[in-house]
Amino acid sequence: MQQQVPVFYDEYGNPFIVLREQDKKQRITGVEAIKENIQACLYLYNTIRTSFGPKGMDKALVSKDGDVTVSNDGRTILDHMEVENQAARMLVELSKSMDDEVGDGTTGVVILAGSLLEQALPLINKGIHPIRIADGFEMACQHACQYMETISDRLEFTKDNIAPLYVPATSCLSSKIVNRHGTKMARIAVEAVLDVADLDRRDVNFDHIKIETKVGGRLEDTELVQGLMLDKGISHPQMRKEIRDARIAVLTCPFECPKPKTKYKVEIDSAAKYQQLAQQERDYFHRMVQLVKQSGANLVLCQWGFDDEANHLLMQADLPAVRWVGGLELELVAMATGARIVPRFEDLTPEKLGHAALVREVNFGTSGKEEMLSIEGCANTQAVTVFIRGGNKMLLEEAKRSLHDAMCVTRNLIRDNRIIYGGGAAEVACSLHISHMADQVGTIEQYALRAFADALDAVPVALAENSGLPPIETLARVKAAQVREHNPRLGVDCMETGNMDMRTHGVFETLLAKKEQYLLATQVVRMILKIDDILKPAPAPAQ
């Protein structure tokens, strides 16, 4: 007798078959699946919202190895969290995408997405289809982006007047651990970006900005170096430590004798054969050094190491060398100095050498063993290095992330100099606009429009809560002031100065970044609302 296959029906009456392999898995369908995804995302949202704003709290993240990271950067926090739910993982990827595309706003975009999901939950409980909710969110997002363009201002700056760029960079650093030295860090970030920027084309090549860190010293010792710095030193203590008018050979071939590709065995049964083998090896080294000298190079950067004999021959030939240079660093040197990366000594010619005005070894620390190589006056580009000092590795990593955010804000302003005002001012203005628009919509999407407007209020509410202010009262005061004065620059006064005008406080955000926040958050929420079927391993039975 043929075994009958069990057929089940979901809440919409659609039949589906449970296969034998699926018996050991738990399946959640329909509205329950959407609710479970939303609850998982809200856990991340509630965790990260306390880190938002200039007075946001920091998170101490402990890895499995016991390494501690203290940060309030959204991407860093989410990267260190173990997230099992795949819908919640989409919020982690959302923060990464925001960091890759814009470089700033990694916390705000997750807060907006979580708030949208929080507002969608009661609409789903009322029986509104998730697709209609997602359509309403997308409609509201488009109108909000268009409205922000109408209330935006332009931040005017030129090559001769870059002072206006310091304000948004300083505002970006105000919520970071490095805010005590925010003015200096902002100046370093802006100058680094402008050194490699093409203002006529409105383009910035971040590949020409290198960030190096070195434990020791104080954070205020951070400096901007006009050139490249490598965490390497000259290979021999008796080699020259300063090379002017450097002609650099960038090699990916090692200073050693060639080795057969197959297994081999060398038998030496006499002293003469040993002397012959040693002489042949010396001849190889002499030939390699001679080829480098014939090319006109006076500095060698090698990706591989070389033994003491080759190092001694290079010193005798007055040819300073640096070994074990990483592949990425070799590429940066090649781009900056105009060098060609050479894989064989025979291919080395004067045309493939890089040029720099000065290459010198810089020592740090009392022992003099903490050396770095400084390459200044690069011929091909205006490559720069941000050299960060600090008391420990944790502080250096946070300073590195903070400077990256400030540089990204400056880059966004070069691409598009339109700005909107922070402190939740833009969110309150867009919330009022979307609420007014929802009153004129006759379809069911009006509920989603109002939910989107309520979700935008989560940003000023989080700012007020993290500043120790009464959130509802503060939000109502800001909304009433914007309606009364028709001023979209009014936001949450986190510093309690009595002035809610964000232009006065110099709290700006780039329009480009804010629009990306809205668009990315809305698209991710739409994707999460469309997941109505979850298949996952069933929980283990109780013992």
Per the annotation, the verdict on 73 as an active-site residue is yes
- Residue tagged active-site, from 69, 76, 337, 405: 405
For the question of residue 106 being annotated catalytic, the response is: yes
Residue 16's φ and ψ, nearest 5 degrees, are -150, 155
Q: How many CB atoms lie within 10 A of CB 140?
A: 30
The rounded distance, in Å, linking the Cα atoms of 344 and 348 is: 7
| One-letter amino acid of 469 | L
Q: How far apart are the C-alpha atoms of 368 and 346, rounded to whole Å?
A: 37
267: Cα within 13 Å, side-chain hemisphere? 1
Residues with Cβ within 8 Å of 90's Cβ and at least 6 positions away in sequence, in order, are: 41, 524, 527, 528
Cα separation, 154 vs 511, whole angstroms: 10
Of the candidates 69, 76, 106, 522, the residue annotated as catalytic is 106
Angle (CA) 169 170 172, round 5°: 65
Catalytic residue among 69, 99, 104, 107: 107
Quote the distance between the C-alpha of residue 484 and its chain's center.
40
Q: Is 477 exposed, middle or buried (0-12, 13-18, 19+ CB in 10 A)?
A: middle
Strand partners, 428: none
Instruction: Let me know: does 343 contact 266? Beta carbons within 8 Å.
Output: no
Token pair 């081999």: residue: 264
Instruction: Report the first-to-last Cα separation within the chain, whole angstroms.
Output: 36
Give the residue numbers marked as catalytic: 73, 106-107, 405
